[in-house]
Amino acid sequence: MASSTLPSNGRLVNIGTHSLALYTHGPEPSSSKDPVVLFISGVASDALNWQAVVRLLGPSLRSYTYDRSGYHNSESSPLAPSAENVALELSLLIEKAPIPNPLILVGHSWAGVLTHEYIALKGTDQIAGLVLVDANHETAPLVMDVNDPILWTVAAGVEPYSAWGVEAEHKLTQEEWDAFRAAETTEKFKLIERKEEFENYMPSFETLRKKELSKKQPLVGDKPVYVIGGTRSRDWSGLYKAGVAKGNGTEEQRSHVRELIKTVDAKNEGLMKEFLTLSTKSELVFATESGHFVQMTQPEIVVDGVKWVLDNLPASS
């Protein structure tokens, strides 16, 4: 039975077609009007990458992490993991759990797209605020190519977490890090990673752009939105150095990657600024000591974001 591996704070929630693993952290809210935090992972990530943030949030606040369909302790879905389907399953999880409280959605990477699809599906009634952690804007692929084939030719055979500096700089416990890495070596993980990252990730941006949510700004009205930009050049420089050390790439290819690295932070900053239009109350900060995985290397910045949202909630009517 898979359920025997669930930690004491985890449970399987039946969403109709299958069950998703939901993990509860922190105290019981005193009422269903108290905001709670719900963490949404990026592409090819389960709940484990949020552990350092959850620990820092500590006893002050109820929060939830979950494994998307096909990851870790969750069952596989009959649906393809398009952003629309992921948002649908998230809405069912919230309904069936149930989590009636106002939600502070904290999303990393692809969760920028996923949170928008959730809003397109369910509106903003249950949303208290957003914290976007180096999140993907719907126009991101038009501005920068994270799957640039030449970048990955130069980085061929490189261990990303090591090259990115995440392995050296993460704030997980050793036990949490080992669990995080172990989950990603399983056949189950590789199957859903392939479906999400290689079949559904890129098309999700155009699907979202066609909804023209950008014409409905501020999409969340005056609900607080805290935007955290990572420093992508750190990740790409790490990949470049490790790849060059292996002898990868022609001089022409290496030069191409050096140019990408020079421009990526300005491009990412422009994308992060786009998120500020989501609300009349928004804030932008940069995690200068982190690449893309800010929640693992500078979890305190994410906690600061949650606290900022709590401090800036609209006065209840």
Tens digit of pLDDT for each residue in 127-145?
Answer: 999 999 999 999 999 999 9
Sign of CA dihedral 298, 137, 130, 199: negative
Tens digit of pLDDT for each residue in 77-92?
Answer: 999 999 999 999 999 9
Please state, for a pLDDT cut of 90, what percent of the chain lies above it: 96
Q: How far apart are CA 226 and CA 216, in angstroms?
A: 19
Tell me: pLDDT of 187 over 80: yes
Q: How far apart are CA 230 and CA 25, in angstroms?
A: 26
Q: Mean pLDDT over residues 105-110, rounded?
A: 98
What secondary structure does DSSP assign to the chain, as a single string? -GGGGS-TTEEEEE-SSSEEEEEEESPPPSSTTS-EEEEE--TT--GGGGHHHHHHHGGGS-EEEEPPTTSTTSPPPSS---HHHHHHHHHHHHHHTT--S-EEEEEETTHHHHHHHHHHHH-STTEEEEEEESPPPTTHHHH--TT-HHHHHHTTT--HHHHTTHHHH--S-HHHHHHHHHHTTSHHHHHHHIIIIIIIHHHHHHHHHTTTGGGG-STTTTS-EEEEE--HHHHHHHHHHHHHHTT-S-HHHHHHHHHHHHHHHHHHHHHHHHHGGG-SSEEEEE-TT-SS-HHHH-HHHHHHHHHHHHHTPPPP-
Tens digit of pLDDT for each residue in 46-67?
Answer: 999 999 999 999 888 999 999 9
The pLDDT, as a whole number, for residue 2 is: 44
Beta bridge partners of 258: none
Tell me: pLDDT of 238 over 80: yes
The pLDDT, as a whole number, for residue 58 is: 80
Task: Give buried/exposed letters for 73-84 (b at 16+ CB in 10 A, else e).
Answer: bbbebeeebbbb
Please state, for a pLDDT cut of 70, what percent of the chain lies above it: 98
Band of residue 3 on the pLDDT scale cut at 50, 70, 90: very low
The pLDDT, as a whole number, for residue 5 is: 79
The pLDDT, as a whole number, for residue 84 is: 98
Q: How far apart are CA 272 and CA 40, in angstroms?
A: 18
